[in-house]
Amino acid sequence: PAPTEAPTPEPTPEPVDPLLLYIEGMTTEEKIGQLCMFGFSGTKEISSEFKKILQDYHIGNVILYGQNMSRTNSDGGFSQCRRLSDSVRNASKSEIPLLISTDVEGGSVTRFHWKKTLSSAKTLGSKNDPERAEEQFRYIAEGLLSAGINVDLAPCLDVAKDPDGTFLGKRIISSNEQVVSDVGAACIDGLHDGGVLSIVKHFPGHGATSADSHESTPVVKKSLDALRGYELVPFSEAALGADGVMVAHISYPKIDPDHIASQSEIFITEILRNEMGFTGIVMSDDFRMAGLRKQTSLSDGAVQFILAGGDLILCGANHSYQRQILDGLYAAVEDGTVSEQRLNESVYRILSAKLRVTDWDPFENED
């Protein structure tokens, strides 16, 4: 008799990422809320208007600026900020924890009154001592965590031939791109050592212009090859270790004649993600800035940022602007301009970051 053929084995199913399954169970409204990092005014408690936005739109992330800190308090503002950040967390109705950010860089950008003097980026660069930079940012992270903050929008990885000729000034580490890479990477490591996420800025670089994107839209007439040889070096090296990259509202017409960087698929997807291999969160600079608002409406700008490959829209304490951003996103998802798959990609990056700095367990109720 002919031998019996062995049965064909069933293929082993590919393991399913449980975070993807969690995201599939989220509502579209919850997903859109995760794409926003919004601010509010006040130092004592969350305002009623922002509380309504936070709850009605399921906002997933909050920014605290200097106006939210009472740095003249006896402890430099840390305990006051902790009470404020706790009030924000308590106001959120979502089981998903918040990312709460600020921007402590050292030098003139410190937000609190620190017991130790925080050297400016320029000073850290002049010392060219990565160990010192790492130690300072570990100290910063510990202070931020005590205040209820788990994200630092730092360091600046901009590089400039003449830093003092830019609006960033001493916030730039060095005019030497390799020094910026080395010291910047150490700053990121220090934040991670202290348990805080790092979002570096201002991709693809603010160093070739004296214009301030808070007030206008800077224009840099450089080629992509020129950027690759200088401005992009720190981002292609140090930024790969960061949790997020903030994209600036700057025009580079020789690279993308149609969109500023924060609206550009060329910069965000083709260069930052595909060419440089960055897989973390891509965040916009603040949508209140004239560098964006002189180019597009807030609703259209929010949609274009997501379509270009961005993940997290930053907007400080202007609730009218925040509602315009949300209205644009809601309409774009409803009419199919922004797909559910596109939302899921960004939500996945943001929730993955939250797992790294919170004790949230989205899988605890699963079998």
The whole-model pTM stands at 0.94
Can you give the C-alpha Rg of the chain in angstroms? 21
Exposed, middle or buried, 166 (CB in 10 Å: 0-12/13-18/19+)?
Answer: buried
- Lowest-confidence pick of 141-155, 158-172, 216-230, 352-366: 352-366
- The DSSP call for residue 196 is -
Torsion angle defined by CA atoms of residues 171, 217, 153 and 275, in that order, rounded to the nearest 10 degrees = -100
Axis crossing angle, helix 340-357 with helix 298-307, rounded to the nearest 10:
80
The pLDDT score that the predictor gives to residue 26 is 97
All residues at 6 or more sequence positions from 333 whose CB lies less than 8 Å from its CB, including other chains: 28, 32, 340, 343
What would the pLDDT profile of 33-73 be if each residue is shown by its tens digit? 999 999 999 999 898 999 999 999 999 999 999 999 999 99
**pLDDT over 70 (residue 215):** yes
| pLDDT tens per residue across span 81-134 | 999 999 999 999 899 999 999 999 999 999 999 999 999 999 999 999 999 999
* Average pLDDT of every residue of the chain: 94
Q: Which tokens in the block code for residue 70?
A: 């009472």
- Span 202-218, average pLDDT: 93
Q: What is the pLDDT of residue 5?
A: 62
Give the whole-angstrom CA distance, residue 169 versus residue 122: 8
User: Is residue 7 very low, low, confident or very high in pLDDT (cuts 50, 70, 90)?
Assistant: low
Strands of the 36-38 sheet, one edge to the other: 281-284, 244-247, 197-203, 151-152, 99-102, 61-63, 36-38, 313-315
pLDDT value, residue 311: 98
Range with lowest mean pLDDT among 210-214, 255-259, 345-349: 210-214
Residue 364 has a pLDDT of 72
d(Cα 363, Cα 361) in Å, to the nearest integer?
5
Q: For 256-265, how does the pLDDT look when each residue is reduced to its tens digit (9 = 90+)?
A: 999 999 999 9
φ/ψ of residue 37, rounded to 5: -125, 105
pLDDT confidence band for 239 (50 / 70 / 90): confident
What is the total residue count of the chain? 367
Q: What is the pLDDT of residues 265-302, one digit of tens each?
A: 999 999 999 999 999 999 999 999 999 999 999 999 99
